[in-house]
Amino acid sequence: MDNKSACIHSPAQRRALLTGGVAHFIHDGFTDMLYIFFPIWQMQFALSFTEIGILKTLFSGTMAGFQVPSGAVSTNRNIRLDDKKGTLRKA
């Protein structure tokens, strides 16, 4: 394969790349923002480190737990939009 053919992508491939990139950006953005919110929530809601840890565990568990069902729904319905909808629903 030469360099010219490697750079040609269909509009569907570009949309898929854009959708995946945006979903990844949102997911990582929310995950990274938690570390900024934890001290604020700790002060505002008088939470202990244990309670903050439980919140982080719930978030991580929820994100991990919904990956398989989202993939199953996407496969069964043959819909590619469920990945970004799943990320937005969990947010």
In a domain, 2, yes or no: no
Q: What total number of domains does the chain contain?
A: 1
Confidence of residue 83 (pLDDT cuts 50, 70, 90): low
In a domain, 86, yes or no: yes
Task: Indicate left, alpha or beta for 79 from its phi (over 0: left) and psi (-120 to 50: alpha).
Answer: beta
In a domain, 15, yes or no: yes
In a domain, 21, yes or no: yes
Mean pLDDT calculated for residue range 54-83? 78
Residues of the domain holding 25: 10-90
In a domain, 1, yes or no: no
Q: What is the pTM of this model?
A: 0.55
Say how far apart CA 28 and CA 65 lie, in whole Å: 17
Tell me the pLDDT of the chain averaged across its residues.
80
3-state secondary structure of 2: coil
Residue 78: the pLDDT is: 64
In a domain, 3, yes or no: no
